Structure formats: structure tokens, C-alpha cells
Amino acid sequence: MALSARPDTSSIEAKWQKYWQDNDLFAWKQDLSRQKYYILEMFPYTSGRMHMGHARNFTMGDVLARMKRAQGFDVLYPMGWDAFGLPAENAAIKLGIHPAKSTADAIASMKQAMIELGLSYDWNQELDTSDAEYVSAQQRLFLKFYEAGLVYRDTKFANWCDNDQTVLADEQVIDGRCWRCDGEVTKRQVAQWFFDIRRYADQLIDDLDQLDGWPERVKKIQRSWIGRSKGADVRFDLCNAPDQSIVSFTTRVDTLMGCTFVLLAAEHKILDTVPLPAEHAQAVEEFRQQVLSQTRQDRLENRDKAGVFTGWTVRHPLTGEELPVLVANYVLPDYGTGAVMAVPAHDQRDLEFALKYALPHPVVISPDGKSFSVTDEAFVGDGVLVNSGDFDGHTTPQARDAIAGRLASIGYGGPTTTYRLQNWSVSRQRYWGNPIPIVYCPDHGAVPVPESDIPVLLPRDVDFMNSSRAILSSEQFVNVSCPACGGPARREVDTMDTFVDSAWYFLRFLDPHSAEPFPRDLADRMLPADLYIGGIEHAVLHLIYSRFFVKVLRDLGMLDFDEPFMSLRNHGMVNDADGLKQSKSRGNITEPADMIARYGSDALRVYLMFATSAENPINWDDNGPTSAVTFLQRVQRVVDAALDESRGTSPDPAASKKLLARAHAAIARVAADIEGFRFNTAVAEVMSLVNALSLNADSAGIEARREAVDVLIKLLNPFAPHFTEELWERLGNTTSLAAGTWPVLRPEMLRRDEAEIAIQVNGKLVDVISLPLDLDKSQVESEALGLEKVQRLLAGAAPRKVIYVPGKILNVVV
Ligand code: ANZ
């Protein structure tokens, strides 16, 4: 038959792919009598074709899904398309094809590639985030967030590319230029919609402790991304302007008595709201512009601390002393309050700044309470307060409480917590996204679109090629009447960040056509998902946003669990042969379709799973899958031989038992390895069962061989689904493996009549020997004493004592 004639596996693959589809064998059954299992991989962007990295990631999920189905779980294994967003819009512009069309083309091509790889998705649950139903459901969620007060509009400095007329994320600014057009990037005040994710910062950190199934590495990245920092706020009143004050965040309020000046970030709002003394205004403005042209990274790495005096002074809240206020290049706008109480003697950056501008730097913490001074190195450790008035003699922790307490009692601050995590700006000044359902009315301001007018669909007939603001070219879209008064109004023309689309799609999979955003009963049954598979590059953003969404929806009473994904697995990348990332610009992408044409999809799958452990990268080698082809051909030959009834007609019971013990051990190990994401050792285990079947199997007899072949085919099925289906059918089976069951482990088969016994001399391991289990102590002892290695160690002496742990250890003491 055709299987062995490489590479003509295509007709077999097509045959089974059609069979699975025609019989809807991967449909989620929604069978309440079974235990649920929800597994998903991060759904792909629709900006290109399927690459080998996808193939690897998706095959991992597929192996698990197939095994779990066979094991009787009620499996939901869906796939969908992250269709909106800049990647798809840019791809469309590059091709000169409307994004709706280029997205549909990309989906068609990727779906075909997935089917050809034999992935067992339930296509009944397929979703597309650019589809009207999805757009509608998401806008409903937006409105719910809005009603709950979790959405607000604010004008903030953002990276702005003038060419593309859009805000850029920090990661999209390379050396001060736009990643896409290389145009200059400036900072600009942009009005944006925000999700108040900081409200959930504590939960997002604390609940990580429940996520036992997550890699520690990802949890660590999330903790530091959220960056919870406990400290205190300190308020300083401006001497120049009554009723105005500056609040700073500090983690060292114990050093407050050593604060000699106050620093502001260039973006600090007070610089725009309170007029500066005229003689300082220009210098401050110039300095601000200079700082604003630097990226966040540059500012963090600033070696050269610089600043400018604002002309303002503030009053120290405890001493009443007048302190200068400066704008400094190393103060970040989006951390703490964007203002710093500078304590040069105890903070290195402040010290460098103070030395440069000849500002005082009194010591207020001494390591041992004795007199102490700093020159060019700040003392940042804990110690005992000095030069601090009433607080002298307090230790650092005592002073922290005492000073924060004093501030609170006079209304000038107190303990607080700050987070590195910023509120989530969800506005994108781009066309290809989900429209934000808001209307601006001259009289009523920003008014949410009423639910009855949802969905607000993107106008399709726009000039998407020439402006990121293509949406503006549709008058019909932009000009609307105000939902509150019916007067003329304008629609919001920003679209939602594509990360909003991916923050909840795992809920929509439960029913992509539901009128509600998602069906609650199914959500409570199926979630948290049992396994989520994706790249480590999503450790933040997507994986934080998804967790945030679930917590908000829980608080809105829309679901009843705290976390979206119980278990998370990261997979390694597929690089090129030199270990470089495969990318379009390098032109080094391997397409799964080419490898499938050459080796067949089963061989490709087996290779992807066997090449290395799941977390390691694979450096792609076009010849790699050859070994998998050889292996599958060998399986075929071994199975053929094993089922030849003319062989080994007088079976030896011990040999049959041994073969079956091997097969049953494989059932246990393959399942545990797949579950543990050890796909390579699972394949190795199948290979060793193939070896056992080919070596001396004649004496095991046809009955045992048949059972072992059965087990072999079923264990190999998740890895090589088409090949095993074909074999299975050829063996006379009439039901497909996809509808079949996982082999049942019979523990009694594992019991063997021999045991591996460790032989020790004076407690040190000398040898391990296989002996029949029914030997008594004296028989085992005489076997052990007969060993040459033991005799050498005894050197003629008689054993003083012999200890025997039956079936395990024999220790000879001399
Ligand atoms: C006074 C002080 C005295 C500080 C001292 C440190 C040592 P972590 O620990 O990372 O949370 N800071 C606060 N806001 C800032 C901003 N927007 N940009 C730059 N620096 C800022 O850092 C907290 C410390 O970073 C704060 O504590 C503040 O300096 C500085 F002996 O306040 B400290």
C-alpha cells in the first residue's frame, strides 16, 4: 500500500481530513456527563501565512486535544483569528488590498494550512475579531466597562509619528524614529480612552500565587511589570502660588528630613496649569522639549543628570524650609506621581544632580548613628536617623512609620502604594480596528452609543491606502446625531487597541454567534481553560489584559471565576538553520506546506515533537523530518511482521507477558509525558515499544503481539493521526481512531515476575541484577555473593551481616 512509498502520503491525508470533517469528529460535545477539558493556543494575527513556529505550537495543542478526547474528556479545542490591528492594516497597505480582503485571504490560507497539518480544531466554534458579531459583542463589553466607571478619557503625552499620524507604543520607537516609516517621533498630548487596569493591580499580583500551572518565569515577569512599590506620598505646598502643591512618591520617607529640593518630570501637569515666573519660562520650556524628544529608555539610562530651575519654591512639610523646584531629565512622568523629593545624601541619582548644581546634601541616615558624611557615593542602606530633629535615634523602619504617621496627621501625605503598570490606553488612531462606541456632542460631550445602536461597524468604503485616518473619509460614519439630544454630533474615530480583541476571545469561543458577549452557563462550566499554549513574548500585555478582563467580568457579575487560564505553557521558537529568528525581512521563513509536500504532515508533526523538548528552540533543518519518515516506515514494517500469524506459533508465556508489560508501561508513560508537555520523550517511548515489538516478538505469540500493536497505534495516533488511521483501518477496524478510545492501562500487566535488585556492599551500590521475584533471601544472597565484583570487594572475608529488602535491595556488610 501507498504508506511506505514516500512521499505519497497526500491522498491518505486528504482522505482522513475529509473523513474527520464529514463526520464532525472534533466537535465539542457539550456532554455534561464527561469531565471538561478546554485547551487553546494563542490565536494568530491574520497578517501573513502560517509559519513553522505556528505549526509547532499548534501541533503541541493538537496532540493533547487528541489524547484528551480519546481519554473521554469533553474537549473544547477551538481556533480563531486575531484579525484587526496594525499588522493586518500594514499588510493590506503593502499589498494595496483592502484590509477586509487581505484578512479574509490570510484566514483562508492559514485555515487550509491548519487542516493540512491535521489539526483537530472544532471549526464550529471558529471566530474572527473583525466580524460584525464579534465587533458587536465587544462594544457591548466596552459599554459595560464604561458604566462601571472603568473607562475614562484623558489627555496624556504619547509618542507621536507625524507621518503616520498615530500614537506609537514605546516598543515601536527605534532610536527616536518610527518603526514603520522611519519618521521622527515626538511627544504629543493626545486625548485617549483608558481602561483603569490599575484598580486591579493588587489582584493581578496576588492571584498569581494561585496559578500553580504557570511557569515561574512568566509570573516573575508579570510581578515586575506590574511593579508594586510600597511607600508614601509627601505633599509640598508651592510658595509662589497659593493652593497649589506638588505630591511626590517615595519609598524612603524616613529620609524626608534630608530633602533639599523637589524634582518634576518634564510632562508634569503643573507645568502647564500654573504659570511659571516669566524669567524662567523660556528656559524651562526649552528644557522640557529637549527631554520630551528622548525615549523612556534613554531617560532611564541618562548618565548625564540634568535639570532646570523653575523659579518655584515649595515648603518642606515638616521643617517649613523653602526648597527649590526643578525639572529633571531622569524623573519619569508615569511612575509614582511624576515628582520626586530629592534626598541627595541617600540616593545616588539625586547626589549626582546635587553635586552638578551645587545643591546641599545633608546626611540624615547614619549606618550606626554616629557622625557620617558622603562625598560622591550616596549611603542608600538602612541605619539610624541623625540631623532629623525629633526623629533622631529612630531606626529606618521606625522612622518610616513615625514620619508617614506625622505627615498623615497634618494632612501632608501618608503611606501609599504605587505601581509601574500604567492604565491601559485603548485608543488607536488607525482604521482597521473595532470602533470605540462613543459620540461627541457639542452640548453633551462624550456620549456612549446606546446598546440598541450597537454594533457601530467600520465603514468599508474608505481610502485606506493614504491615511491612517481613513475612517474620516466616510462622512456617513463620522456625522451622526447625539444619542442624548438628537442634535448634530461626531463619532469617535479612534478604534480599539487589538489587544482588547484578544483579551476575551477565549470566552467568545463558547458561542461565537451568541447575542450576549458570551453564554454565562458555558463560561462557568468550561473556564478557567485547562491549558493555554503560547510564546513567552506574551508574558505581559496579552496575558495581563486577559486576566484583567476576567476579573472585571467577574465583578460585573458576568462570570464566576478569577482567572482565565489554569495552566500556561510556553513553547520554543523555530529558528533558521543558523539559529536566527525566521522573519519575512530576512527571507528565511520555512513554510509548513513545503515540508508537508515533501515529507507528509505526519512526519512533519512527529519531527516537530521529537526534535527537542517543547521549550527549546528548533533550528530548522530541511532534512530533519527524514528521520521521522524512516521511523513511520519502520512502524509499518514492524506492524506488518507482528501481525503475521505464521510467525512464532508456539508462544512462550514469559515472553508474552514481557511484551505486554512493555506495552502497558508505554500507556502510562506516554500519557504522563504528553500531559507534562514532554512530547519528545513520549515519542521516544513509542519508539521503544516499536523496538520491543520487533525484537524477539515471535516467542510472544500472536495474541500478545496483536494487543501490543493496538496499543502502539493508539499511542502514536496523536502524533501521526493520518498514518495511524490508515493502519487502523487496514487492520480491519471500522471505527475511526478519532472516535475511539485511549488504551486502557491494566495494572496487573505491569506486574512482572522478575525484579531489579540493587546489590550493595557496605551500603555502596555495586550492581543491579534481575532476579525472579519468588527467590528467598538466601537464594538472592548466594546470587549476589557469586558476583565477581562482590567477591573482589569481600577479598576473601566472610560477610558480617546481610540485609535483604525483598524485591529491592540486598546489602552485604563486611
Ligand atoms: C526619596 C528618596 C530618598 C528615594 C532616598 C530613594 C532613596 P522604586 O523603589 O523603584 O519604587 N522616584 C519616585 N518617582 C519617580 C519618578 N517618577 N521618576 C524617577 N524616580 C522616581 O523607586 C522609588 C524611588 O524612586 C522614590 O523614592 C523616588 O526617590 C524615586 F534616599 O524618594 B525616593
User: What is the structure's pLDDT at 211?
Assistant: 97
Q: What would the mean pLDDT of 452-458 be, rounded to a whole number?
A: 95
Q: How far is CA 584 from CA 101, 456, 590, in A?
A: 21, 34, 10
Residue 466 has pLDDT above 50, yes or no: yes
| Selection from 27-41, 696-710, 800-814 with the highest mean pLDDT | 27-41
Please state which of the ranges 132-136, 726-730, 803-807 shows the lowest mean pLDDT: 803-807
Give the whole-angstrom CA distance, residue 785 versus residue 794.
9
Q: Whose CA is nearest to atom 32 of ligand 1?
A: 250
Ligand 1 pocket, residue 416 CB under 6 Å: no
Q: How far is the CA of 261 from the centre of ligand 1 (A)?
A: 13
Burial annotation 177-208 (CB, 10 A radius, 16+ → b, else e)? ebebeeeebebeebebbbbbbbbbbebbbeeb
More confident residue, 645 or 754: 645
Give the whole-angstrom CA distance, residue 767 versus residue 710.
36
Residue 152 has pLDDT above 70, yes or no: yes
Give the whole-angstrom CA distance, residue 702 versus residue 499.
58
Give the whole-angstrom CA distance, residue 798 versus residue 794.
7
Question: What are 183-231's pLDDT values in tens digits?
Answer: 888 888 899 999 999 999 999 999 999 999 999 999 999 999 999 999 9
Please state which of the ranges 160-164, 424-428, 476-480, 483-487 shows the lowest mean pLDDT: 160-164
User: What is the structure's pLDDT at 247?
Assistant: 98
Residue of 252, 294, 348 with the most ligand 1 atoms within 8 Å of its CB, for mutation: 252
Q: How far is CA 8 from CA 258, 531, 603, 711, in A?
A: 80, 35, 12, 26
Closest atom of ligand 1 to CA, residue 346:
31
Ligand 1 pocket, residue 252 CB under 6 Å: yes
Ligand 1 pocket, residue 344 CB under 6 Å: no
Ligand 1 pocket, residue 336 CB under 6 Å: yes
Question: What are 275-303's pLDDT values in tens digits?
Answer: 999 999 999 999 999 998 887 777 877 77
DSSP letters spanning 526-559: H-SBSEEEE-GGGTTTHHHHHHHHHHHHHHTTS-
Ligand 1 pocket, residue 308 CB under 6 Å: no
Ligand 1 pocket, residue 329 CB under 6 Å: no
Residue 1 has pLDDT above 60, yes or no: no
Residue of 335, 353, 364 with the most ligand 1 atoms within 8 Å of its CB, for mutation: 335
- Residue 259's pLDDT band (boundaries 50, 70, 90)? very high
Q: What would the mean pLDDT of 388-400 be, rounded to a whole number?
A: 96
Question: What are 656-670's pLDDT values in tens digits?
Answer: 988 999 899 999 999
Packing angle of the helix pair 601-610, 626-642 (nearest 10 deg): 110
Please report which residue ranges of 676-758 form alpha helices under DSSP H: 679-694, 701-716, 721-730, 747-750
Is residue 720 within 8 A of residue 675, CB to CB? The reply is no
Residue 115 has pLDDT above 50, yes or no: yes
CB proximity list for 116: less than 8 A, separation 6 or greater = 13, 17, 592, 593, 596, 601
Ligand 1 pocket, residue 258 CB under 6 Å: no
Give the whole-angstrom CA distance, residue 343 versus residue 360.
9
Residue 270 has pLDDT above 80, yes or no: yes
- Residue 87's pLDDT band (boundaries 50, 70, 90)? confident
Ligand 1 pocket, residue 335 CB under 6 Å: yes
Q: What would the mean pLDDT of 808-813 be, rounded to a whole number?
A: 90
Residue 35 has pLDDT above 80, yes or no: yes
Q: Whose CA is nearest to atom 19 of ligand 1?
A: 331
430 burial type by CB count under 10 A (0-12 exposed, 13-18 middle, 19+ buried): buried
User: What is the structure's pLDDT at 796?
Assistant: 84
User: What is the structure's pLDDT at 788?
Assistant: 87
Mean pLDDT of the residues in the chain:
92
Q: What would the mean pLDDT of 696-723 be, rounded to a whole number?
A: 94
Q: Which of 679, 713, 674, 676 is nearest to 693 (CA)?
A: 713
Q: How far is the CA of 349 from the centre of ligand 1 (A)?
A: 10
Residue 3 has pLDDT above 70, yes or no: no
Q: How far is the CA of 219 from the centre of ligand 1 (A)?
A: 24
User: What is the structure's pLDDT at 180?
Assistant: 67
Question: What are 788-802's pLDDT values in tens digits?
Answer: 889 888 888 888 999
Q: Look up cell 517649613; give the residue.
A: 320
User: What is the structure's pLDDT at 753?
Assistant: 67
Ligand 1 pocket, residue 250 CB under 6 Å: yes
Number of CB atoms found within 10 A of residue 77's CB: 25
User: What is the structure's pLDDT at 752?
Assistant: 65
Q: How far is the CA of 284 from the centre of ligand 1 (A)?
A: 22
- Residue 4's pLDDT band (boundaries 50, 70, 90)? very low
Residue 2 has pLDDT above 60, yes or no: no
Q: What would the mean pLDDT of 783-792 be, rounded to a whole number?
A: 88
Residue 7 has pLDDT above 60, yes or no: no
User: What is the structure's pLDDT at 365?
Assistant: 97
Q: What would the mean pLDDT of 581-593 be, rounded to a whole number?
A: 84
Give the whole-angstrom CA distance, residue 54 versus residue 533.
11
Ligand 1 pocket, residue 601 CB under 6 Å: no
- Residue 750's pLDDT band (boundaries 50, 70, 90)? confident
Question: What are 171-189's pLDDT values in tens digits?
Answer: 577 777 877 678 888 888 8
What domains can you pick out in the chain, each with its CATH number? 140-196+423-499 (no CATH), 229-418 (3.90.740.10), 615-750 (1.10.730.10), 754-813 (3.10.20.590)
Q: Give the whole-number percent of the chain exceeding pLDDT 90.
A: 74
DSSP letters spanning 132-184: HHHHHHHHHHHHHHHHTT-EEEEEEEEEEETTTTEEE-GGGEETTEETTT--B
Q: What would the mean pLDDT of 378-382 be, rounded to a whole number?
A: 97
Ligand 1 pocket, residue 527 CB under 6 Å: no
Provide the terminal-to-terminal Cα distance of the chain, rounded to the nearest Å. 65
Closest atom of ligand 1 to CA, residue 345:
31
User: What is the structure's pLDDT at 129?
Assistant: 98
User: What is the structure's pLDDT at 173?
Assistant: 74
Q: How far is the CA of 289 from the centre of ligand 1 (A)?
A: 23
Number of CB atoms found within 10 A of residue 123's CB: 15
User: What is the structure's pLDDT at 177?
Assistant: 82
Q: What would the mean pLDDT of 669-684 be, rounded to a whole number?
A: 96
- Residue 168's pLDDT band (boundaries 50, 70, 90)? confident
Q: How far is the CA of 340 from the centre of ligand 1 (A)?
A: 6
- Residue 618's pLDDT band (boundaries 50, 70, 90)? very high
DSSP 648: -
Please state which of the ranges 168-182, 310-324, 501-515, 531-545 shows the lowest mean pLDDT: 168-182
